[in-house]
Amino acid sequence: MSADQTAYQALLARFSRILRLSDMQALLEWDSAVTMPSGAADSRNEVLGEAERLIHELLTAPDLPDLLDAAAAEEADDQTDDALRRSNLHHMRRQVLRARAVPADVQERFQAARLRCETVWRQARAEDDFPTLAPFLAEVVAATRERAQALAQMLDCSPYDALLDGFEPGGRRQRIDALFAELKGFLPDLLQGAVKRQQGQARSSLPKVAVEAQRALSRDLMADMGFDFAHGRLDESLHPFTGGMPGDVRITARFDPANVLEGILAVLHETGHALLEQNRPPAWRAQSAGRMDSMVLHESQSLLFEKQVGRNRHFAGYLAARLRDHAGGGWSGQRLHALMTRVSPGPIRVEADEVSYPLHILLRYELEQALLCGDLQVRDLPGAWAEGMKASLGIVPETDRDGCMQDIHWMYGLFGYFPTYVLGAMAAAQIFKAAEDALGPLDGALAGGDLSGLLDWLVRSMYARPQPADTDEMMMALTGAPLSAAAYRDHLLGRYGGDV
Amino acid sequence: MSADQTAYQALLARFSRILRLSDMQALLEWDSAVTMPSGAADSRNEVLGEAERLIHELLTAPDLPDLLDAAAAEEADDQTDDALRRSNLHHMRRQVLRARAVPADVQERFQAARLRCETVWRQARAEDDFPTLAPFLAEVVAATRERAQALAQMLDCSPYDALLDGFEPGGRRQRIDALFAELKGFLPDLLQGAVKRQQGQARSSLPKVAVEAQRALSRDLMADMGFDFAHGRLDESLHPFTGGMPGDVRITARFDPANVLEGILAVLHETGHALLEQNRPPAWRAQSAGRMDSMVLHESQSLLFEKQVGRNRHFAGYLAARLRDHAGGGWSGQRLHALMTRVSPGPIRVEADEVSYPLHILLRYELEQALLCGDLQVRDLPGAWAEGMKASLGIVPETDRDGCMQDIHWMYGLFGYFPTYVLGAMAAAQIFKAAEDALGPLDGALAGGDLSGLLDWLVRSMYARPQPADTDEMMMALTGAPLSAAAYRDHLLGRYGGDV
């Protein structure tokens, strides 16, 4: 810290370095998934590991805690926006605390266990061999527990809350329990009713659409949604994701000729993530306040564009027209909408319809807590899974591959991640409702594929704000109320409850 | 440095970090040229600038000089290869000295001047406006002079030698003067003779070859040459280059339907660079000894595959067969060879034939020294250029755009770079001769496109060696003699001197 610099300015300089290193990492991770030659994984991991170590060293620099205290005690100068400064200080401190919390040996055990387990899982899943996987997953659970305890001590919260905080800053189990309890109150009936009602409907299957046509269609959809191709890309990878860095936001999709809807919905989803990133103020590019660490808020945007917009009855007409442009044939909005809102419980989370999906998550949320606190042993996971699926979705997966081995999250030590998907869906419904409250009904705009008014409102109300301390701070500012299940319930009942 | 580590081991650890950061940089520079969206240059430069600063900080860490001295005084343990250790110590010291030599303010002035000049140059070149460019280039010359003096003081050599050393470790002007004097002795006559002789030959033009066919042809050529696509890629960019990192070597080409030969020769050239990189021992990936900082030695490999192999009379038969595979038509080896060995002096360096090319370089070599020592003022450059071109190639460019403004090198402060192109061509001829001395004549293998014997010899004799202290150390080991003009002269006289 030089003499003419405030502690706050010194911190910003440190963190611009940290964030730019993370940006390098993110660009290289995009490359790993999209362009890296097949044999380069080892050399890539060496390079990414080095970036990880450098970031950790910068975050755990011995003078950072004092600098954070000094900055908190400083008076802000007149030029700095107060909310921006508060957000920066909050998230810089949060990152420093999390990095300092975990002793090197604990972090190494965690890292080693999850790398081993992920490798074993890829093979074991292919062979549907849970017994081989079990001891490796048990190692990850043990290492996660150890890491969670270290984090909890530093953050002064429960171990599970400390894990949650990694994906949802300030997230608390008690709050999530209450929100999820509301879902349990109406979801099972809604599911049964929707399935019953749809039994009478004629089924139609999807015509094939060539990959090349899906690519062109996707670029058109993205452009219509406001994606800026001068500051972003669309590519293809095994699993769709949003990557890159502020100013260079890259989404990926996967196109299956036999399932054009899957490709389109993934593009809408990732474009939602991208619109948030592309519309953050460029001046905050290398500041913590300019990021959006909350997976709930991030997912609220991808899900808003995938579910509220993408599966909307009126928007389906626009989608059908775009499909006719690129794939010819007799696509109709009505038929597309029926396909996109078909309710049909199955064993696989990522293939689940909008009503079944939260039930998949509720099960995982309960099981991951039971695993971590020791109430459930890893060897008993398949049984608990089957029981839980039977109780909530009325089905039992035929294999562990289609059951407790389907997701990478636990294998890779990502405990506390699953609930953000449903919290994000709740936030999406609440934010979309707030947008319609502010702008009036959007049906007409959606029917014409005109999302500019919605995007404009999102930019002004959400994307231009510094990252909040927690999701409720943003929801209050955006919607006038903390996150609740009400709008999500109304949305699901409205679309699947028999009134439509 | 921990207690159980030798100084040498501590240095290796430091440099693995430095080299991995450079690898990140290199991968992102590849991305900038190949995949980056058009509007992302600013955010990319922020990220690359951060990597640059980190590398500089690591190289100028205050304890490094002592650590280097301690390692030099240490006894090597029995497990370490002596040549490897010597190479590592030599190049680690060299990099540290170069980084410490230049004061921060001098480096900043240099950096600012070259970024400004490059930007002005792009516009001024398009408009053929040298007067606008001149003051900016003069700034670069002044900043380069200042930087060269700082480097010279640290390296204990002349300022120009200090610049040379940046592209050719240990390179010395005195030595280059002697080598280039030999070229001046025979090149003008050879050029005149070749032009005269070819006047009688029938000219044929190239049929068009679609870009898609050139891509597939290039991949086939690369595979035949031994390029490993599991550890590398072929892409397209405005200017062909070899990038990426050890274990992930990426070349680019540019395909013009009207000029398939240009595309092919660029692919052969870059594949030569890539074969060297792909065949370095993987265990040295993050060690200085595993790199090849000498542009002369690197260029010796690209030129060996582009000129010795690519323009070889027998290899042309194989190339013609491959062209027939991908582009149909009546390609003949004889015709291809005639086109690839056509001698026709023109103003543009990168379009020059094999005989004119070194004369382009000799002119730049003289002019850049005159600019740096003040014998030539920037405003007088166009006149000196015209005079030099007239004297050596017998032509005068019609515009400055096709004259002294054609290359980026000086604009970007790359003084001392040009001579490495011709030294590389000399080394290529000398190394190819050594290969034929060892393996017997390669005409038959080249006619069949079988480069495996040659590559195998190069791997054993050159690629598997630690990076040498200077080019002559490698040339002695490879060819039994220091770099000389003899083989290059024989090669040029043999191919263009009227005996063929």
For chain B, give the secondary structure using H, E and C. Answer: CCCCCCHHHHHHHHHHHHHHHHHHHHHHHHHHHHCCCHHHHHHHHHHHHHHHHHHHHHHCCCCHHHHHHHHHHCCCCCCCCHHHHHHHHHHHHHHHHHHHHCCHHHHHHHHHHHHHHHHHHHHHHHCCCHHHHHHHHHHHHHHHHHHHHHHHHHHCCCHHHHHHHHHCCCCCHHHHHHHHHHHHHHHHHHHHHHHHHHHCCCCCCCCCCCHHHHHHHHHHHHHHHCCCHHHEEEEECCCCCEEEECCEEEEEECCCCCCHHHHHHHHHHHHHHHHHHHCCCHHHCCCHHHCCCCHHHHHHHHHHHHHHHCCCCCHHHHHHHHHHHHHCCCCCHHHHHHHHCCCCCCCCHHHCCCCHHHHHHHHHHHHHHHHHHCCCCHHHHHHHHHHHHHHHHCCCCCCCCCCCCCCCCCCCCCCCCCHHHHHHHHHHHHHHHHHHHHHCCCHHHHHCCCCHHHHHHHHHHHHCCCCCCCHHHHHHHHHCCCCCCHHHHHHHHHHHCCCC
Residue A47 and residue B24: Cβ atoms within 8 Å?
yes
Residue A46 and residue B286: Cβ atoms within 8 Å?
yes
pLDDT tens, residue by residue, B61-94: 999 999 999 999 998 777 778 999 999 999 999 9
| A470 in a structural domain | yes
Give how far Cα B440 sits from Cα of B300, B433, B444, B445, Å. Answer: 20, 10, 10, 10
Phi, psi of B271 (to 5 degrees): -65, -35
Nearest neighbour of A44 by CB, restricted to B47, B53, B248: B248
Interacting residues of B163 by C-beta distance below 8 A, sequence separation 6+: B144, B148, B151, B372, B415, B416
Half-sphere exposure at residue B312, Cβ-oriented, CA atoms within 13 angstroms: 23
Indicate the SS3 state at residue A424. helix
Q: How far apart are CA B390 and CA A448, in angstroms?
A: 67
- pLDDT band at B371; cut points 50, 70, 90: very high
ipTM exceeding 0.85, yes/no:
yes
Nearest neighbour of A17 by CB, restricted to B50, B245, B247: B50
pLDDT at A2 over 70: no
- B187 and B57 in one domain? no
Residue B21 and residue A50: Cβ atoms within 8 Å?
yes
Residues of B with Cβ-Cβ distance to A50 under 8 angstroms: 16-17, 20-21, 24
Question: What was the pLDDT predicted at A202?
Answer: 72
User: For residue A6, what is the DSSP state?
Assistant: -
Closest CA to B379 of B400, B407, B352: B400
- pLDDT band at B498; cut points 50, 70, 90: confident
Question: What was the pLDDT predicted at A216?
Answer: 98
Measured between CA atoms, how close is B36 to chain A, in angstroms? 8
Parent domain of A21: 1-80
- Whether the CB of A31 is below 8 Å from some CB of chain B: the reply is yes
Measured between CA atoms, how close is B20 to chain A, in angstroms? 5
| Sign of the C-alpha dihedral computed for residues A121, A125, A126 and A128 taken in this order | positive
- A197 and A71 in one domain? no
Q: Please tell me which residue, B236 or B1, carries the higher pLDDT value.
A: B236
- A179 and A76 in one domain? no
Residue A285 and residue B31: Cβ atoms within 8 Å?
no
The domain tally of chain A equals 2
pLDDT tens, residue by residue, B417-442: 999 999 999 999 999 999 999 999 99
Nearest neighbour of A24 by CB, restricted to B37, B38, B51: B51
Interacting residues of A330 by C-beta distance below 8 A, sequence separation 6+: A324
Give how far Cα A376 sits from Cα of A114, A152, B230, B272, Å. Answer: 19, 21, 43, 59
- B290 and B187 in one domain? yes
> For testing the chain A interface, which of B24, B25, B233 should be mutated: the one with the most A CBs within 10 Å?
B24
Question: What was the pLDDT predicted at A14?
Answer: 97
Q: Which DSSP string corresponds to A273-304?
A: HHHHHHTS-GGGTTSGGGS---HHHHHHHHHI
- Whether the CB of A42 is below 8 Å from some CB of chain B: the reply is yes
Q: What is the CATH number of the domain that holds A198?
A: 1.10.1370.30
A232-236 β-sheet, strand order = A232-236, A248-253, A242-245
pLDDT tens, residue by residue, A325-378: 999 888 999 999 999 999 999 999 999 999 999 999 999 999 999 999 999 999
Q: How far apart are CA B52 and CA B60, in angstroms?
A: 12
Residue A231 and residue B44: Cβ atoms within 8 Å?
no
| B456 in a structural domain | yes
Whether residue B23 contacts residue B247, with contact meaning beta carbons closer than 8 Å, is answered with: no
B232-236 β-sheet, strand order = B232-236, B248-253, B242-245
- Whether the CB of B28 is below 8 Å from some CB of chain A: the reply is yes
- Whether the CB of B447 is below 8 Å from some CB of chain A: the reply is no
pLDDT tens, residue by residue, A454-496: 999 999 999 999 999 999 999 999 999 999 999 999 999 999 9
Whether residue A400 contacts residue A275, with contact meaning beta carbons closer than 8 Å, is answered with: no
Question: What was the pLDDT predicted at A1?
Answer: 54
Percent of chain B exceeding pLDDT 90 equals 94
pLDDT tens, residue by residue, B18-45: 999 999 999 999 999 999 999 999 999 9
Whether residue B296 contacts residue B427, with contact meaning beta carbons closer than 8 Å, is answered with: yes
- B237 and B382 in one domain? yes
Burial string for B206-230 (b: 16+ CB within 10 Å, else e) reads beebeeebbbebbeebbebbbbbee
| A260 in a structural domain | yes
Q: CB A416: neighbour CB atoms within 10 A?
A: 28
Measured between CA atoms, how close is B252 to chain A, in angstroms? 14
- A218 and A332 in one domain? yes
The identity of residue A236, as a single letter, is E
Closest CA to A299 of A263, A260, A270: A270
Residue B245 and residue A42: Cβ atoms within 8 Å?
no
Q: A1-15, A59-73, A182-196: lowest mean pLDDT where?
A: A1-15
- Whether the CB of A233 is below 8 Å from some CB of chain B: the reply is yes
Interacting residues of B14 by C-beta distance below 8 A, sequence separation 6+: B58, B61, B64, B67
Q: Global pTM?
A: 0.94
Phi, psi of A441 (to 5 degrees): -55, 140
| B108 in a structural domain | no
Q: Look-up: residue for tokens 């605390």?
A: A97
Q: Which of A80, A104, A124 is the last residue of a domain?
A: A80
> For testing the chain B interface, which of A248, A250, A251, A279 should be mutated: the one with the most B CBs within 10 Å?
A248
- B372 and B228 in one domain? yes
Whether residue A367 contacts residue A349, with contact meaning beta carbons closer than 8 Å, is answered with: no
- Whether the CB of B231 is below 8 Å from some CB of chain A: the reply is yes
- Whether the CB of A17 is below 8 Å from some CB of chain B: the reply is yes
Question: What was the pLDDT predicted at B500?
Answer: 42
- The β-bridge partners of B250 are B233, B243
Q: Which of A62, A80, A98 is the last residue of a domain?
A: A80
- The β-bridge partners of B232 are B249
Whether residue A475 contacts residue A430, with contact meaning beta carbons closer than 8 Å, is answered with: yes
Q: How far apart are CA A182 and CA B139, in angstroms?
A: 70
For A328-331, the CB contacts below 8 A with 24+ separation are: A329/A207
- Whether the CB of A20 is below 8 Å from some CB of chain B: the reply is yes
Residues of B with Cβ-Cβ distance to A36 under 8 angstroms: 248
Closest CA to A404 of A417, A420, A387: A387
Interacting residues of A366 by C-beta distance below 8 A, sequence separation 6+: A388
Task: Please state the length of chain A.
Answer: 500
Nearest neighbour of B248 by CB, restricted to A27, A37, A229: A37
Q: How far apart are CA A311 and CA A301, in angstroms?
A: 14
Closest CA to A277 of A299, A292, A259: A292
Question: What was the pLDDT predicted at B2?
Answer: 64
Average pLDDT over residues A315-319: 97
Q: How far apart are CA A432 and CA A430, in angstroms?
A: 6
pLDDT at B499 over 60: no
> For testing the chain B interface, which of A12, A20, A31 should be mutated: the one with the most B CBs within 10 Å?
A20
Report the residue of chain A nearest B21, measured CA to CA: A47
Report the residue of chain B nearest A55, measured CA to CA: B54
Where would I find the H helices in A412-464? Answer: 419-439, 443-447, 452-458
Q: Which of A80, A108, A130 is the last residue of a domain?
A: A80
Residues of B with Cβ-Cβ distance to A229 under 8 angstroms: 37
Question: What was the pLDDT predicted at B81?
Answer: 87
Interacting residues of B60 by C-beta distance below 8 A, sequence separation 6+: B96, B99, B100
- B63 and B181 in one domain? no
- Whether the CB of B339 is below 8 Å from some CB of chain A: the reply is no
Residue B248 and residue A43: Cβ atoms within 8 Å?
yes
Residues of A with Cβ-Cβ distance to B23 under 8 angstroms: 43, 47
Average pLDDT over residues A65-72: 97
Q: How far apart are CA B44 and CA B38, in angstroms?
A: 11
- Whether the CB of B116 is below 8 Å from some CB of chain A: the reply is no
Q: How far apart are CA B387 and CA B394, in angstroms?
A: 9
Report the residue of chain A nearest B54, measured CA to CA: A17
Identify the burial level of B6 via C-beta atoms within 10 angstroms of its C-beta, where 0-12 means exposed, 13-18 middle and 19 or more buried. Answer: middle
Nearest neighbour of B230 by CB, restricted to A20, A37, A51: A37
The identity of residue B189, as a single letter, is D
- Whether the CB of B232 is below 8 Å from some CB of chain A: the reply is yes
| A113 in a structural domain | no
Catalytic residues of A: 270
Catalytic residues of B: 270
Pairing type for strands B242-245 and B248-253 reads antiparallel
Residue A20 and residue B229: Cβ atoms within 8 Å?
no
Measured between CA atoms, how close is A42 to chain B, in angstroms? 8
Q: Vertex B227, ends B224 and B230: CA angle to 5°?
A: 125
pLDDT, averaged across chain A:
95
Measured between CA atoms, how close is A213 to chain B, in angstroms? 19
Question: What was the pLDDT predicted at B142?
Answer: 98
- Whether the CB of A38 is below 8 Å from some CB of chain B: the reply is yes
Q: Which helix (H) or strand (E) holds A232?
A: strand A232-236
- Whether the CB of B13 is below 8 Å from some CB of chain A: the reply is no
- B188 and B75 in one domain? no
Q: How far apart are CA A182 and CA A187, in angstroms?
A: 9
Residue A248 and residue B286: Cβ atoms within 8 Å?
no
Residue A245 and residue B42: Cβ atoms within 8 Å?
no
Measured between CA atoms, how close is B286 to chain A, in angstroms? 9
> For testing the chain B interface, which of A21, A31, A35 should be mutated: the one with the most B CBs within 10 Å?
A35
Residues of B with Cβ-Cβ distance to A231 under 8 angstroms: 37, 39-40
Closest CA to A95 of A22, A196, A192, A175: A22
Average pLDDT over residues B439-458: 98
Closest CA to A188 of A395, A5, A433: A395
| B340 in a structural domain | yes
Question: For B184, left (φ over 0), alpha (ψ -120 to 50), or beta?
Answer: alpha
Residues 264 to 283 of A: which have CB under 8 A from any B CB?
A: none
Closest CA to A128 of A400, A365, A343, A366: A400
* Joined tokens for residue A374: 């020791």
Closest CA to A198 of A345, A392, A313, A332: A345
| A337 in a structural domain | yes
| B99 in a structural domain | no
- Whether the CB of B211 is below 8 Å from some CB of chain A: the reply is no
Nearest neighbour of A51 by CB, restricted to B24, B229, B286: B24
